Amino acid sequence: MSAFLIVLDSVGCGGAPDAAAFGDEGANTLGHVAAACAAGRADAGRVGPLRMPVLDGLGLGRAVALASGLTVPFGGDGTLRGRWGAATATSAGKDTPSGHWELAGQPMRTPWTVFPDTCPAFPPALSAAIATRAGTAGILGNRRASGTEVLEDLGAEHLRTGWPICYTSADSVVQIAAHTGAFGLERLLDLCAGLAPMVHGMGVGRVIARPFDGAPGAFQRTPDRRDFAIPPPAPTLLDAVQAAGHRVEAVGKIGDIFAHRGIDRLHKGADDRALMDHLHRLAADAPDGALVMANLVEFDTLWGHRRDVAGYARALEWIDAEAGRFLSRLRFGDLVIFTADHGNDPTWHGTEHTRERVPVLAAGRGVGQIGAVAMADVGASVAAHLGVPAPGPGPGPGRSFL
């Protein structure tokens, strides 16, 4: 008996009650992607209505309707094969760590420090510290930016000057990009690791190393990204499972998100396909009582932030097919929950995450409605399945729905 908690990064389903406070009222990642597909506006590399029959069989369409009131046909046959609901965040941010920590039983109540949408965005002391640690006379960027666009804008100047490209977003983050050949991967990782304590002391959640290679006009980010994150403020589901003597297997960037705490083994990969291969293998090989927590990030990084609706639709249809293969491998007594950490509606304005509810789709524990729950209830439910003490801060969030 094991548990698989699979986070489809940014696959929200609309309807967050506080969306207006984030400028996201009406955002709905799944609903709007499906609407674009039905209208023929997402036919690049695929065609027609969005089809996700496997996850629809676990209640995906029902979860979207519950969260946002929107009826979306996902191509299922109408037969319910799992349990479904929609989860609401209570954390102060709509960033990746906040979403994952809350799913693992620890809502982030205190707002993160976010840098202003100005140029320069960073305070002078931080800019100077980056340059000093990099051994350069200055930094490039110093503003909010898209990670791919900033390479197009500043990659050539980075090669000429050797200065690191530093930028932020609406999330609480410092991102530093550098060319692996000209600047060096280890030098970049050392720079970010050394800077992290100062940045964390400012209340900023993450320093992200963004290595890239290639030449002007053809720069590409490499798979060697590293996140240097603040540890969760209190024990999470991962800590609870590990403390109970069970193994925690982390797939994708889960290790970085949880500051490598409460994890026994990491499973990394160059892309989501490689990470899904790990999940297929772990469906057969995970030790009894293990927690396998995975983050599939490309919905967010490749398609959501780039506002690529067709790409997002292709990724959704791909994960649905993979989910069918994965479910066929589960052993008797295993639980799998597919969910998300926030939204990133590719039809929305800007390039940032969107505040949304997230679907909660469970297989292995019967059939029926979970209903409207808190995101922290996901972690409590996994803990209940594994028979370990639930993480979470007292009454309210952190109640099992199993």
Q: What residue numbers does the annotated binding site for Mn(2+) cover?
A: 9, 300, 305, 341-342, 353
Q: Can you say which residues are annotated as belonging to the binding site?
A: 9, 300, 305, 341-342, 353
Q: Which amino acid is at 190?
A: D
Q: How many alpha carbons fall within 13 Å on the CB side of residue 143?
A: 11
DSSP state of 20: G
Q: Which amino acid is at 78?
A: G
**Omega into 120 within 30° of 0, i.e. cis?**
yes
Q: What tokens appear for 210 in the block?
A: 């963004």
Cα distance between residue 273 and residue 257, in whole Å: 20
**What DSSP element (H or E) covers 197?**
helix 185-201
* DSSP count for the chain of H helices, then E strands: 13, 14
Q: How many alpha carbons fall within 13 Å on the CB side of residue 272?
A: 20
| Among candidate residues 116, 12, 91, 64, the one with its CA nearest the CA of residue 348 | 12
Q: Would you tell me the crossing angle of helices 309-329 and 272-285 to the nearest 10 degrees?
A: 10
| Among candidate residues 344, 382, 345, 393, the one with its CA nearest the CA of residue 360 | 382
Cα distance between residue 358 and residue 368, in whole Å: 17
DSSP state of 299: I
Cα distance between residue 271 and residue 231, in whole Å: 25
Cα distance between residue 293 and residue 210, in whole Å: 23
DSSP state of 193: H
Partner residues linked to 85 by β-bridges: 360, 371
Q: How big is the chain, counted in residues?
A: 402
